[in-house]
Structure 1
Amino acid sequence: MNGAAHDLKAVAARALACLDLTNLNDDCSEADVQALCARAMTPHGPTAAVCIWPRFVPVAKKALAGNGIRIATVVAFPGGDDETSEVLDMTERAVAEGADEIDMVIPYKALMEGHANAVHSAVARVKEAAGRARVKAILETGVLGDAALIRQAAELAIEGGADFIKTSTGKVPVNATPEAARIMLEVIRDSGEMVGFKPAGGIRTTADAAMYLELCDEIMGPDWASPAVFRIGASSVLEALIATIEGRDGGVASAGGY
């Protein structure tokens, strides 16, 4: 085995351990969630978490009992403009039913209209409602577009108490990009806070995953990116990572997925 192949296998194993294996498809069923949970315990170790709709948290809780894989769910998803009371109720219920992590969409449309306070307030209130659960603030960077706006969103989310900042919902035309990732990682670094980073949407190959790990290594340091502070939001990349680990073609993603 040559050095490059060995390095790529190591990268794939590192990425697999940081994967939030995701099914946020509109037609997701209980059977799909059970299958997702089974996939999360791979022959090469578990993924970090599964990420599912709130109604399926009890299903995942039962399927994952005792194996250490975390349960993430979404609120204010995908638009970021749901009624605050509904978002907080959903957050509390999801945590009570077993969610370990809450991926919330910030009110990015309000931010684009100049209402910066809305972001800080929304994150702070969800953080309080989440209690013991960690909160990942989804910025929807592909819609924000402008670098200064992405930076502002990241700063406001961190000031509001987010445990992670996440690029995207995976539900818009432009999702995770290296440009947005760089901005977000620089904000995390400059904040001095223990905040994680999650690129999501459009990550389908081992090379895609490697690119984000390399950015983390460059900006945050080579020992920073671990499941505690780095996640990849995807489903279609899992088979590519496994193929790379097993010495098969890791450049081809499985069909479909988030």
Structure 2
Amino acid sequence: MINEQEQKAEANAASVADAAKVFQLVDLTRLEEHDDESNVIALVRKSKKNGICCAGVCVYPEFIKTAKNTLKEIDNSVSTVVTVVNFPDGKQALTEVIQQTKTAIADGADEIDLVLPYHLIQENKQAEAQTFVEAIKAECGNVLLKVIIESGELATAQLIDEASSVCVQAGADFVKTSTGKVPVNATLEAANVILTQIQQSEKTVGFKAAGGVRDLEGAIEYIALAESIMGAGWVKPSTFRIGASGLVDQLVF
């Protein structure tokens, strides 16, 4: 019979393993109004811990080169540099967002997180929204495109589903919940709708929960939900991400 001390040891080992797994799924994010190079360098230095690297670091476009250089300095060749376009309100002109995307890729961005013009979904202009995403996807080439639908601003599950479908059909590599800049960000309810749309599409599209995932327990809930819909083994950095900042400070491994 396993005694209480052994049970605690097993539970601790499981928690450490979970923390290491979650760390590898995180896009470590800093998108604050007054960011500077020192903030970005400090962020990137958190991307490698005990020989394990997070999935990516997400910064404003002007800090792409700083992030790339810092990853080299800390010998982290695993984490990718992510940046945002049409951020945060999704209301910039397509021509402007195309230029943002071109510049970000030229500066070395590995992944683009595009804010969907979600107001078009609210106005029942799904075709226009899809055309917008398709245009940015065409600029990305081999650079990964994650599309933020801002699920907390979409009032119903139907709108979240329609926004997710637009992204999937337009060729997005990931559908992402939120910018983290609105009152309601990632929720399990929205994640369920998005993941179900991805599963039903039968396309290879990933999922990213962003905004509000602050501890290991919360992260594990999203992982469990994704595996319940997409199947065991689906959750890995190529298909599942968590956009977070403070979360990594809570992960002990």
Task: Specify the TM-score bucket, using the shorter chain as the normaliser.
Answer: over 0.9
**Cα RMSD between the aligned structures?**
1.1
Secondary structure of the residue aligned to 1:223 is: coil
In structure 1, the partner of 2:39 is: 32
Aligned with residue 69 of structure 2, among 62, 76, 82: 62
Q: Is the 8 A contact 1:12 1:210 kept in 2?
A: no
Letter matched to residue 187 of structure 1: Q
CA distance in 2, matches of 1:138, 1:40: 22
CA distance in 2, matches of 1:12, 1:215: 17
The reply to whether residue 153 of structure 1 matches residue 163 of structure 2 is yes
TM-score where L is the length of structure 1: 0.91
Secondary structure of the residue aligned to 1:99 is: coil
Could you give the per-residue CA deviations for residues 184-235 of structure 1, whole angstroms, max 9, x where no partner exists?
A: 1111111111100000001111111111011111111120000011000001
Could you give the per-residue CA deviations for residues 25-48 of structure 1, whole angstroms, max 9, x where no partner exists?
A: 111111111111111111251110
In structure 2, the partner of 1:254 is: none
Letter matched to residue 219 of structure 1: I
TM-score where L is the length of structure 2: 0.93
Letter matched to residue 50 of structure 1: V
Paired residues, number: 243
In structure 2, the partner of 1:237 is: 247
Letter matched to residue 137 of structure 2: K
The reply to whether residue 144 of structure 1 matches residue 151 of structure 2 is no
CA distance in 1, matches of 2:56, 2:176: 15
In structure 2, the partner of 1:249 is: none
Q: 1:149 Cα deviation (Å)?
A: 0.4
Q: Is the 8 A contact 1:106 1:138 kept in 2?
A: yes
- Percent identical residues: 40
In structure 1, the partner of 2:128 is: 118
CA distance in 1, matches of 2:229, 2:65: 38
In structure 2, the partner of 1:78 is: 88
Q: 1:18 Cα deviation (Å)?
A: 0.5
Q: Which runs of 4+ in 1 moved over 6 A?
A: none
In structure 2, the partner of 1:180 is: 190
Q: 1:3 Cα deviation (Å)?
A: 3.7
Secondary structure of the residue aligned to 1:199 is: strand
Q: 1:113 Cα deviation (Å)?
A: 1.0
In structure 2, the partner of 1:228 is: 238
CA distance in 2, matches of 1:128, 1:146: 30
Secondary structure of the residue aligned to 1:20 is: strand
CA distance in 2, matches of 1:117, 1:79: 19
Aligned with residue 196 of structure 1, among 198, 206, 209: 206
CA distance in 1, matches of 2:128, 2:17: 41
Structure 2 alignment gaps of length 5 or more: 1-7
